[in-house]
Amino acid sequence: MSRQRVVIVGAGFGGLAAARALARADVEVTLIDRRNHHLFQPLLYQVATAGLSPADIAAPIRSILRRQRNVRVVLDAVIGIDREGRRVILDEGRPIDYDRLILATGARHSYFGRDDWAQHAPGIKTIDDATAVRRKVLLALERAETETDPERRKALLTFAVIGGGPTGVEMAGAIAELARRSVSQDFRSITPQCSRVLLIEAGPRLLGTFPEPLAEKARAAIEDLGVTVLAGKPVEAISDRHVDIAGIRIPTHTVIWAAGVQASPAAMWLDALADRAGRVMVRQDLTVPGYPEIHAIGDTAAFIRTDGRPLPGVAPVAKQQGKHVAQQIARGQSLPFRYRDYGNLATIGRHRAVIDFGRLQMSGTFVWLLWCTAHIFFLAGYRNRFAVGAHWLWNYLTFERGARLITGDAKPTNGEKTWAI
Amino acid sequence: MSRQRVVIVGAGFGGLAAARALARADVEVTLIDRRNHHLFQPLLYQVATAGLSPADIAAPIRSILRRQRNVRVVLDAVIGIDREGRRVILDEGRPIDYDRLILATGARHSYFGRDDWAQHAPGIKTIDDATAVRRKVLLALERAETETDPERRKALLTFAVIGGGPTGVEMAGAIAELARRSVSQDFRSITPQCSRVLLIEAGPRLLGTFPEPLAEKARAAIEDLGVTVLAGKPVEAISDRHVDIAGIRIPTHTVIWAAGVQASPAAMWLDALADRAGRVMVRQDLTVPGYPEIHAIGDTAAFIRTDGRPLPGVAPVAKQQGKHVAQQIARGQSLPFRYRDYGNLATIGRHRAVIDFGRLQMSGTFVWLLWCTAHIFFLAGYRNRFAVGAHWLWNYLTFERGARLITGDAKPTNGEKTWAI
């Protein structure tokens, strides 16, 4: 009998964990991703704010799995699934047959039906998203430097982050550090006091999933950095020149979206039942109802705990689910998945972070150091760990942000044809 | 009397050297560039071959000149010069008045009248060029891995570099290392022996500006790395699927241009006399004939030595000219420029480099170490020096190339709208 063919779609935290957990299983693994790299998304906001380079937090999938001989990596986009024929349909290559299928395709931004906001308020899910946001923030500072009209300069120096979850808090803190401290010596006309960073949250407070005292500490810390928190205020409109909240129009050239996510189209491929965010409803063993050979994990899956609460869309959930599914496949079992919650971390600039271990709740410098250590530890690849550690040390000691490059879409000069390829 | 206004266009080696040499002069300096960063172009080929990240070899112009209070940095594109009104016309901002003007706008690729080749054979002059080439090379390897037709796979694994000067030699050596060594363990179907790197030179030999024995050593070293040198063979045609040389059609998906450069359009702005490569003909004091207040330096200028030979388009020439012009402005003098040639270096993969000090000519490991040291020393900014040193050490010890990211133009998946912003 030939070996079981396990196909994994997506090399994020969940897909990679599943592939690794199958290292010693007697199966043939095919890992398909649209990109050639695994990305450490929790640090993507630091690329967007010029603290780290893309290559510091990403590693080629092939390199990560180099020593695992039962894995084949395929760079291609999945465009459908033939459930009856048990085949994954690819955009460029030939269909790939599976005996077991693991869907770990992650999530993208959701604008809650206002897709027209996407062009004005980019989110950050990919490296290209992050470098686009970096470009937007740095260009606003550059334009403010030469702008002489005070109203327009104020709008250029107003940065609005939508969404008060961990991503929004981290992003707002990092922008405040960049706009108010890191670049303060580099400009002649604009001063740190000129810039405003707004953190806008529709719900009643920041960090809704954290206990209230911790969220309160985070709010105080982020306000210390110069961020203005506007909670309980849903966004009503976004254009390229302003954002409207609670009936007030705020002129700004830079709006960043950290408010909502939506699952990738795996549920459409399967024609399966999905929740409001597009996530596939899965059984307790993470299989798709009616298809015991198809598993959905991480942000692709809506897993409802036995107490009725859904699991959050965070990396530890995806990793544990990937490992669980792989073990079940290797052992030929079908046991229910149980999530182990090791705590909830968020960081706010230098020296500040909050952590929620359930009964134990902490904040301050020690937690910040813990956050730095944990993130370096979880990065894939020794090279990335070394690079991030070194850059952080440098940024910490010098207050500089080294990756302040505006790339892409270079300004054309009259008479030129071929600067950019 | 108000202070003299010196306007510098371009923050490459020449423009930056001029700005720095004016640090203690009683003048107001305005430095205009289309990009926000100074780029260390000699190492750009290492970004294109995934050895370094863009941020390692680039630094924000504002940061470099942070402590020099008489400089103002403007991010904008120059679109013309009003010689009579002594004003530089910008694309976005208001015109800038000058008393003295230094044009240091550099060069771009020249396809010798075959501009249609540009789309198939990108060159590398900017960060975006380099990441585009990196994308092309890495995608060819990925496609070869899943290609089953042997002819098409061979074409995907054939890399052609056009131009046998130092850039072409370095680029071919780096691609050979990437395609044959660094990625050898990461792929399952393709092996190092599958790939071919061709270095195509129209002239009779590689490194035409180096003495013949040194060029011969470089040829031997690069052939050791697995590069096939085709000298004395001009390119006849380039398409997206092949390159024609000397009547032979070679199927390839990846052609890289390192053959010719052309000056930026400064001569057009001035309506000045230019050489065949578009460089402004300058006097011995680097002023433009008829305009003693306008200077052209580096790749923008055609400077003919008193013995009738032109100066090469290399970084030391630009730097020395920038410094010379700045000193003349500070002192109110107009002395002729003299170039001091400290030698000519080219590197070929690990442990190999050639150097031409005039009477002294060397090659081998010692020269390679000298090359590494010199390049780290000349990088702008301590952070870049540290980052490049650390990455090189890592690459050297592990044979890995860490920056192997395919970015830009992500593959769209069916049903998705907003992955990329």
CA atoms within a 13 Å half-sphere pointing along the CA-CB vector of B121: 29
Token output for A109: 């931004």
- pLDDT on residue A254: 95
Whether A125 and A170 share a structural domain: yes
The enclosing domain of A153 has a CATH number of 3.50.50.100
Mean local confidence (pLDDT), A160-187:
87
Classify each residue of A84-113 as buried b or exposed e, where b means 16 or more C-beta atoms within 10 Å of its C-beta. eebbbbbeebeebebebbbbbbbbbbbbee
For A148, residues 6+ apart whose C-beta sits below 8 A from its C-beta are none
Cβ atoms of residues A375 and A43 within 8 Å: yes
Let me know: does A231 contact A206? Beta carbons within 8 Å.
yes
Beta carbons within 10 angstroms of residue A128's beta carbon: 20
Do A90 and A130 fall within a single domain? no
CB B228: neighbour CB atoms within 10 A? 15
Q: Which SS3 state, helix, strand or coil, does residue B411 take?
A: coil
The whole model's pTM is what?
A: 0.84
Q: What are the CA-CA distances from residue B189 to residues A229, B149, B283, B313, B406 (Å)?
A: 54, 12, 59, 43, 20
Contact A390 B394 (CB under 8 A): no
Following CA atoms B154, B157, B162, B167 in sequence, which dihedral angle do they give, to the nearest 10 degrees? -160
- Which one of A170, A212, A223, A293 is the catalytic residue? A170
Tally the domains of chain A.
2
* B215, B270: one domain: no
What is the mean predicted confidence (pLDDT) over A29-37? 95
A406–B37 C-beta distance less than 8 A? yes
Using a CB-CB distance cutoff of 8 angstroms, which residues of chain B are in contact with residue A134? none
pLDDT at B110: 87
For A247: left if phi > 0, alpha if psi spans -120 to 50, otherwise beta; the answer is left
The pLDDT, as a whole number, for residue A113 is 84
pLDDT of residue B399: 64
Residues A242 and A272 reside in one and the same domain? no
Residue B412 domain flag? no
CA–CA gap between residue A244 and residue B271 (Å, rounded): 50
Residues contacting A76, CB < 8 A, separation 6+? A32, A34, A90, A91, A92, A93, B146, B411
The dihedral through the CA atoms of A404, A410, A411, A415 has a sign that is positive
Of the candidates A27, A29, A7, the residue with the CA atom closest to the CA atom of residue A105: A7
* Nearest-5° Cα angle at A202, A42 to A273: 70
A136 with A202, same domain?
Answer: yes
Which residue on chain A is closest to B135 by alpha carbon?
A: A36
Q: Do B60 and A125 touch (CB under 8 A)?
A: no
Left, alpha or beta for B298 (phi > 0: left; psi -120 to 50: alpha)? Answer: left
Asked if B77 lies within 8 A of A413 by C-beta distance, the reply is yes
Q: Is A290 exposed, middle or buried (CB count within 10 Å of its CB: 0-12, 13-18, 19+)?
A: exposed
Q: Tell me the nearest-neighbour CA distance from A217 into chain B, angstroms.
A: 33
> How many contacts, defined by CB atoms under 8 Å, are there between A and B?
212
In a domain, B63, yes or no: no
C-alpha distances out from residue A315 to A13, A64, A323, Å:
6, 18, 12
> Do B224 and B364 belong to one domain?
yes
DSSP symbols for A297-310: -GGGEE-B-TTSPB
Q: In the listed set A200, A231, A259, which residue is the last one of a domain according to the structure?
A: A259
Looking at the domain assignment, is residue B181 inside a domain? yes
Of A316, A331, A346, the position where a domain reaches its end is: A331
Q: Do B405 and A265 touch (CB under 8 A)?
A: no
Q: Are residues B84 and B99 in the same domain?
A: yes
DSSP letter, residue A244: E
A368 has pLDDT over 70: yes
Inspect the interface and report whether the beta carbons of A186 and B125 lie closer than 8 Å.
Answer: no
Share of chain A above pLDDT 90, in %: 50
**What is the reported pLDDT for B361?**
73
Examine the domain organization and report whether B124 and B222 are in the same domain.
yes
Instruction: Give the span between the Cα atoms of A330 and A345, in whole angstroms.
Output: 32
| B66 belongs to a structural domain | no
**How many Cβ atoms from other residues are within 10 Å of residue A329's Cβ?**
23
Contact list, A68 vs chain B (CB under 8 Å) = none
Q: What pLDDT digit, counting tens, does each position of A289-346 carry?
A: 999 999 999 999 999 988 888 888 888 999 999 999 999 999 999 999 999 887 777 7
Same domain, A249 and A135: yes
Structure tokens at B255: 């052609």
CA distance B323 to chain A (A): 23
For residues A405 and B58, is the Cβ–Cβ distance under 8 A? yes
pLDDT attached to residue A43? 87
Contacts B418 to A, Cβ<8 Å: 108-109, 111, 115, 118
φ/ψ region of B22 (left if φ > 0, alpha if ψ in -120 to 50, else beta) reads alpha
In chain A, the residue whose alpha carbon lies closest to the alpha carbon of B257 is A421
Mean pLDDT of chain A, nearest integer: 86
Candidate from A93, A118, A142 with C-beta closest to B421: A118
Taking the alpha carbons of B215, B221, B222, B227 in that order, is the dihedral positive or negative?
A: positive
The residue behind tokens 């409109």 is A237
Positions in chain B short of pLDDT 50: 410-421
Nearest to B407 among A34, A60, A128 (CB): A128
Bridge partners (DSSP) of residue B347 are B353
Amino acid occupying residue A301: A
A407 contacts in chain B (CB < 8 Å): 54, 127-128, 131
Contact B402 A74 (CB under 8 A): no
Q: Which residues of B are catalytic?
A: 170
Domain boundaries, position B225: 115-259+344-398
Per-residue pLDDT tens for A141-158? 999 988 889 999 999 999
Tell how far CA B414 is from the center of its chain.
39
Of the residues A259, A291, A312, the one at which a domain ends = A259
Q: Which amino acid, residue B132?
A: A
Q: Is residue B409 part of a domain?
A: no
pLDDT digits (tens, 9 = 90+) for A236-245: 999 999 999 9
**Encoded amino acid at A8, one letter:** I
Q: Residue A59 — very low, low, confident or very high, per pLDDT cuts 50/70/90?
A: confident
Q: Phi first, then psi: what are they for B235, rounded to 5°?
A: -75, 135
The CA distance from A254 to A157, in Å, is 8
User: A418: distance to nearest CA of chain B, Å?
Assistant: 7
**Is there a contact between A43 and A52 (Cβ–Cβ < 8 Å)?**
yes
Three-state secondary structure string covering B368-398 = HHHHHHHHHHHCCCHHHHHHHHHHHHHHHHH
- What is the SS3 assignment for B182? helix
d(CA A65, CA A72): 9
Report pLDDT for A410. 39
Decide: A125 and A109 in contact? Cβ < 8 Å. yes
What residues of A are in contact with residue B122 (Cβ under 8 Å)? 421
**Does residue A61 sit within a domain?**
no
Contacts of A343 (CB under 8 A, 6+ apart): A355, A356, A357, A358
Classify burial at A208, counting beta carbons within 10 Å of its beta carbon; exposed 0-12, middle 13-18, buried 19 or more. middle
What contacts A201, CB < 8 A, 6 or more positions away?
A: A163, A164, A168, A229, A230, A231, A232, A233
Considering the domain architecture, whether residues B233 and B350 belong to the same structural domain is answered as yes
Q: Which of A39-48, A187-196, A277-286, B220-229 has the lowest mean pLDDT?
A: A187-196
Q: What is the model's pLDDT at position A314?
A: 87
A240 plus A274 within the same structural domain: no
**Residues A137 and A240 placed together within one structural domain of the fold:** yes
Name the amino acid, one letter, at B13: F
A127–B35 CB contact, under 8 Å: no
pLDDT for A409 equals: 52
Of B140, B185, B167, B143, which is closest to residue B46 (Cα–Cα)?
Answer: B167
Residue of B nearest to A76 (CA): B411
Whether B266 is covered by a domain: the verdict is yes
CB contact under 8 A, B421 and A122: yes
Q: Is residue A353 part of a domain?
A: no
Identify whether the C-beta of residue B217 lies closer than 8 Å to the C-beta of residue B206: no
Strand partners, A363: A354
Looking at the DSSP assignment, which residues form a beta bridge with residue B96? B88
Contacts of B271 in chain A (CB under 8 A): none
Q: What is the mean pLDDT of residues A169-181?
A: 88
